[in-house]
């Protein structure tokens, strides 16, 4: 007798009640296994939905706050930053393209800003 025939031989020796009980146990086990998989799927869907709702709330709040900004240059920078954030884009590396900015002029004690002199060679 092969090992594949063994369950069938055992099932033939069982009473009708025992076969029904065995069948119910197998079906119940399969049902619970499927239910557990469905529950895990629903949990992941719920987490994803919560994350999407949070992103939507944060975006709405950012847009409402942006409406209160009066400085047009600042508003443009903030809009660009929001666009990059919402699109999940990354800024490119601009190390070789950008040059360092000139330092800000110092204000004297009387409130006058000194004039910036050009660096032309004296003739």
In the chain (123 residues long), the average pLDDT of successive 10-residue segments reads 57 73 89 94 95 90 88 86 80 62 65 56 50
What contacts 22, CB < 8 A, 6 or more positions away? 11, 14
Per-residue b or e along 76-109, where b marks 16 or more CB atoms closer than 10 Å to that residue's CB: eeeeeeeeeeeeeeeeeeeeeeeeeeeeeeeeee
pTM of the full structure: 0.44
Burial class (CB in 10 A: 0-12, 13-18, 19+), 71: exposed
Q: CA-CA distance, 39 to 47, in Å (whole number)?
A: 12
Residue 123 has a pLDDT of 45
66, 82 Cβ separation under 8 angstroms: yes
CA distance 58 to 53: 9
**Cα 43 off chain centre by:** 17
């Amino acid at each position: 007798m092969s090992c594949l025939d063994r369950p069938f031989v055992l099932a033939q020796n069982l009473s009708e009640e025992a076969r029904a009980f065995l069948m119910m146990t197998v079906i119940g086990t399969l049902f619970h296994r499927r239910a557990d998989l469905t529950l895990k799927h629903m949990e992941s869907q719920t987490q994803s939905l919560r994350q999407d709702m949070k992103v939507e709330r944060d975006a709405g709040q950012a847009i409402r706050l942006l409406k209160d900004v009066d400085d047009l240059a600042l508003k443009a920078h903030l809009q660009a930053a929001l666009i990059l954030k919402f699109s999940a884009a990354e800024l490119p590396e601009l190390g070789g393209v950008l040059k360092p900015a000139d330092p800000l002029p110092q204000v004297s004690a009387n409130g006058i800003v000194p004039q910036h002199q050009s660096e032309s060679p004296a003739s």
